[in-house]
Amino acid sequence: MENLDSKYSARGDLIWLILRPWILIPRILYILLTLIFLAIRILFQGNSKNKSVQKNLSKYLFDVITELGPCFIKLGQALSTRPDLVRQDWLTELTNLQDNLPPFEHKIALQIIEEELGSPANEIFDHFPDQPIASASLGQVYKAKIKNKTYCAVKVQRPNLHFLIRRDVVILRILATTFSSFLPFNVGVGIGEIIDEFGKALFEEIDYEKEAKNALKFANLFKNNPNVFIPNLEKDFSSKRVITTSWIDGIKLRDRAILEENNLIPSSFIKTCVISGLQQLFEHGYFHADPHPGNMFALKGGSADSGNLAYVDFGMMDTISDSDRITLIKAIVHIINDEYLLLAKDFQKLGFLTKNQDLEKLVEPLKEVLGGSFSAEVGSFNLKNVTDKFSKLMYSYPFRVPSRFALIIRAVVSQEGLALRLDPEFKILKIAYPYIAKKLLTDNSNEILEILLEVVFDQKGRIQIEKVESLLNILFKEAENMNSDLIPVANASLKLFVSEKGSEVRKSFLLSLIKDDKLELKDAERLFSLIRETFSPIKLAKSAFLNIISPA
């Protein structure tokens, strides 16, 4: 196969494929005909009550996606994490796309290992099996044993991937931009850019040297987190098409019943999964963009509240800028406080709305979509509901999805889907909102302090008691949060108030007491009453006692 550049280029790759009509035309016709036949079969059999028909249809769906190749398998993997979008009988079959695909020939894998590492597998490893233990879209994994060491995972890349991915990403882009107006959703004018982001991510994912660097960086970010584990990289046995790491002895986060059979508590892994995901987005600015169940393992140990979780496969990673990260935190705070004009401004800053959009017109539609998200309606609030409402809103207003958010949305949606597999009643806001509230009250970074000041004081410098109360209610409405977070929050808040960095807080607080050149203590009294009630000595003592007898 001809030598191809290892990086994706939308224009360059399009020209490359157009100049090869003998590749483009047969492939695009094959994809179109395959998808048309699939659509027809789903149309006629999708609503059948016959279990045999549905089983055959789900197998056909799996075979179609597998035959279409790595790009389509990646899209199918995203669907396999959404039990709220895909029938359960189909979902079971689609789950096999994560790591149970047909493997490529073992002798080819051995040839790649020898080419990449310079010696045959049987000379490098004490033991190298005759078949892989798992086979995914881009490679297959062997459980081998390094000389004088323990078992390790050796991932070998599928052959000819650069060509296959380059060809199909270009064709996906052509099809997506051609038929975008007929799709049952609206992502604005940027669908081509979103495909471009997908292409760039795939090309980075098949560079195992890049993946090795990603794994080391991710491990460093979570080195102080006792509940998150990252396998150790074996540098001497890794290259551009082969990567070797320590073996993770855990259970994939696929099935609630299997976890329970192994005396593991599903909810504890959901919490670790979601909290670590939020930390990636809002603290580290660097996140795992492919968190499907094949890439995450439940480990023994941990606690009933926070299970031990292992991440693997760091090929698809992405970053989020500090500006976007802070704006997203502000957006969540504005949703909490029902401030929809400020939320519209957040969307505008993030690029979901154009700069000349009349934001006042969006206040009511945003309120309709997101209103009451942490009130009684939180019980029915999940990303699917929001997405369904937003898809309608996007047709009436010029919302668009900036391409840089494509992988963020994919990661968050996959993570929520994973949680829903383990707990159909899971609501992401029940973890996300308290996390943001705690971050505002304990993080003393300048940007978070600025957001906290916006919450506590209005533009005229007055204390916003209702918003402070809302923040505390969100954090401490659950008994478990009250027990585990009360003392850390009280301690961090007190330290901030008396520190040099807290001078702005003290200044704003003192200015809030002066109205019309007079001292006004009414708001201060209400604030102190709220603080006294939340952080009463009895509650603090109870929290300390419970933390001692049941540490997190």
Across the range 311-315, mean pLDDT stands at: 92
Which of the pair, 471 or 228, is modelled with greater confidence? 228
**Residue 507 pLDDT > 70, yes or no?**
yes
pLDDT tens profile 129-149: 999 998 888 999 999 998 777
Burial class (CB in 10 A: 0-12, 13-18, 19+), 35: middle
Q: In this structure, are residues 335 and 370 in contact, taking their beta carbons and an 8 Å threshold?
A: yes
Strand-strand pairing, 151-157 and 317-319:
unpaired
The proportion of the chain whose per-residue pLDDT surpasses 90, expressed as a percent, equals 34
**Whole-structure pTM value:** 0.82
* Catalytic positions: 290
What pLDDT sits at residue 424? Answer: 79
Can you give the residue ranges of every domain in the chain?
10-97, 443-549
Across the range 317-341, mean pLDDT stands at: 89
- Backbone φ/ψ region at 117: left (φ over 0), alpha (ψ -120 to 50), beta: alpha
Distance in angstroms (rounded) separating the CA atoms of residues 29 and 35? 10
Distance in angstroms (rounded) separating the CA atoms of residues 197 and 65? 21
* Mean residue pLDDT across the chain: 82
pLDDT tens profile 422-431: 887 777 777 8
Q: Which of 302-306, 415-419, 508-512, 527-531 has the lowest mean pLDDT?
A: 508-512
Give the chain's largest Cα–Cα span: 85
pLDDT tens profile 6-58: 788 888 999 999 999 999 999 999 999 999 999 999 888 888 888 888 888 98
pLDDT tens profile 4-20: 567 888 889 999 999 99
Q: In this structure, are residues 156 and 143 in contact, taking their beta carbons and an 8 Å threshold?
A: no
Strand ranges of the sheet holding 251-252, from the earlier edge strand across to the other edge: 228-229, 308-311, 296-299, 251-252
Token pair 């990661």 in the structure block, residue: 411
**Residue 529 pLDDT > 90, yes or no?**
no
For residue 149, how many other CB atoms are within 10 A of its CB?
12
Q: Which of 64-73, 324-333, 525-534 has the lowest mean pLDDT?
A: 525-534
Q: How confident is the model at residue 85 (pLDDT cuts 50, 70, 90)?
A: low
Q: How confident is the model at residue 253 (pLDDT cuts 50, 70, 90)?
A: confident
pLDDT tens profile 440-473: 888 878 888 888 888 888 777 778 888 887 777 7
What pLDDT sits at residue 401? Answer: 75
Q: Which of 79-83, 215-219, 500-504 has the lowest mean pLDDT?
A: 79-83
What pLDDT sits at residue 1? Answer: 42
pLDDT tens profile 332-373: 888 878 888 999 999 999 988 888 888 888 888 888 777 765
pLDDT tens profile 198-208: 888 889 889 99
Distance in angstroms (rounded) separating the CA atoms of residues 58 and 80? 12
Distance in angstroms (rounded) separating the CA atoms of residues 419 and 254? 9
**Residue 378 pLDDT > 60, yes or no?**
no
Q: How confident is the model at residue 376 (pLDDT cuts 50, 70, 90)?
A: very low
